[in-house]
Structures are given as structure tokens and as C-alpha cells.
């Protein structure tokens, strides 16, 4: 599936926690953007965004219309800034050191232990590569 026009939040659609977070953030966007599971994009859609399946397996990504890519906690910050009000402020703060350093560490911890978070699935365990649609 090709990516839509405008900013795109790419997340792991096999993870219930990631899917819930992406849906929760996207409900508040004030810009025309899309939250898409990397599995739905497939290898071809990811390539159009300048990403590989390996990139998408490792972290969430925000890709803006100019092709700039933001990984991990910066992707979350950009997605929050696409919303209004307090979410936009939180996103902006997450990009400023030293808060961004703590956010990067927090993101890595969430990725590592997401299988223990509400809504997680077996696919949330790191080290088990999920299937890659459109790559075989």
C-alpha cells in the first residue's frame, strides 16, 4: 500500500500497545496526517518513505511531507506536535535537551518492555522479527 500524502506516523501494527498509542495520538491531530502500520505499507510503501523494513521493526517513525524522518521518541514528539493544545507543548518539550535525553531513554525502555504493557501481544517481544509483507 503506498503511503498517503502528508505526514505519516509509521508504527508496529502487530503490537497492540503501539497500535493503541498511534490511534490515541492521531485522534487529536490538527493537520492532515496518517498513522499507518508498517506491515500495511509493506516494503514498497516503506521504501517510498525512505525506510526499510528493518528501520520500521526497530522504532516508530514520523515522515514529514519534505521527506524528513524522525525516529523513536522524536517521532512521538512530532506526532504530538501535530495535535493542538497541551499535546503540542509536550511534543515540543520532548525535543529539547535535557528532556529529549530522558525521552530517548524512556522510549528505549518502552520498546524493550512493551510486551509487559497493556494491549501487548506476542509480537511485542523484541528479538523475534515479524514477517515483512511484500518482501517475498
d(CA 61, CA 34): 12
Nearest to 25, CA basis, from 11, 38, 14, 39? 11
- Kindly report, residue by residue over 84-113, the tens digit of the pLDDT: 999 999 999 999 999 999 999 999 999 889
Quote the pLDDT of residue 121: 73
For residue 63, how many C-alpha atoms fall within 13 Å in the half-sphere facing its CB? 23
Tell me the whole-structure pTM to 2 decimals.
0.86
Helix axes 16-26, 73-81, angle to 10 degrees: 30
Percent of the chain with pLDDT over 90: 73
Quote the pLDDT of residue 126: 58
Amino acid at each position: 500500500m503506498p503511503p498517503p500524502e502528508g505526514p505519516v506516523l509509521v508504527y508496529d501494527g502487530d503490537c497492540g500497545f503501539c497500535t493503541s498509542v498511534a490511534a490515541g495520538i492521531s485522534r487529536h491531530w490538527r493537520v492532515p496526517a496518517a498513522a499507518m502500520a508498517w506491515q500495511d505499507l509493506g516494503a514498497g510503501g516503506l521504501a517510498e518513505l525512505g525506510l526499510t523494513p528493518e528501520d520500521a521493526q526497530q522504532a516508530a517513525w514520523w515522515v514529514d511531507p519534505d521527506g524528513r524522518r524522525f525516529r523513536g521518541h522524536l517521532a512521538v514528539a512530532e506526532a504530538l506536535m501535530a495535535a493542538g493544545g497541551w499535546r503540542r507543548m509536550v511534543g515540543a518539550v520532548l525535543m529539547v535537551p535535557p528532556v529529549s535525553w530522558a525521552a530517548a531513554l524512556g522510549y528505549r525502555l518502552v520498546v524493550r518492555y512493551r510486551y509487559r504493557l497493556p494491549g501487548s501481544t506476542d509480537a511485542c517481544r523484541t528479538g523475534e522479527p515479524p514477517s515483512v509483507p511484500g518482501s517475498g
